[in-house]
Amino acid sequence: MFQNGLFDVIFHQHFSYFNLYSIKKLFQQYQLFINHVEKIPTQGGSLRIYISRDKREDNTVNQILNEEQEFKLYELKTYRQFSINILQLKSKTLELLKELKSKNKRIVGYGAPGKAANYLNYFGIGTNYLDALVDISPTKQGKYFPNTGLKIYSLEYLEKKTVDYIFILAWNYADSIIENLAYLKKKNVNFIISFPQLKIIKIGDSTKLGYI
Least confident of 53-67, 140-154, 182-196: 182-196
Least confident of 1-10, 108-117, 151-160, 173-182: 1-10
**167 CB contacts (<8 Å, ≥6 apart)?**
107, 108, 109, 110, 130, 191, 192, 193
What whole-number distance in Å separates Cα of residue 172 and Cα of residue 135? 14
| 3-class SS of residue 14 | helix
Query: Residue 8 corresponds to which amino acid?
Result: D
Least confident of 57-61, 148-152, 182-186: 182-186
Least confident of 123-127, 146-150, 176-180: 176-180
pLDDT of residue 212: 37
**Does domain 88-202 fall into CATH 3.40.50.720?**
yes
| In the predicted structure, residue 210 carries a pLDDT above the cut 60 | no
| In the predicted structure, residue 143 carries a pLDDT above the cut 90 | yes
What whole-number distance in Å separates Cα of residue 143 and Cα of residue 153? 8
| In the predicted structure, residue 114 carries a pLDDT above the cut 90 | no
Give the Cβ contact number of residue 112 at 10 Å.
25
The neighbouring-strand residues paired with 58 are none
Task: Return the domain boundaries, the chain.
Answer: 20-73, 88-202
Under the banding of pLDDT at 50, 70 and 90, the label for residue 4 is low
Q: Is 41 or 62 the better-scoring residue by pLDDT?
A: 62
pLDDT of residue 211: 45
Q: What is the pLDDT of residues 172-184, one digit of tens each?
A: 888 899 999 988 9
The answer to whether the beta carbons of residues 110 and 166 sit under 8 Å apart is yes
| In the predicted structure, residue 205 carries a pLDDT above the cut 80 | no
Query: Residue 210 corresponds to which amino acid?
Result: G
Residue 157 phi/psi, 5-degree rounding, is: -55, -40
The answer to whether the beta carbons of residues 207 and 178 sit under 8 Å apart is yes
For Cα atoms 191, 179, 149, give the angle at the middle one, nearest 5 degrees. 45
pLDDT of residue 44: 66
The answer to whether the beta carbons of residues 95 and 150 sit under 8 Å apart is no
Quick one: which of 139, 128, 203, 138 has its CA closest to 166?
A: 203
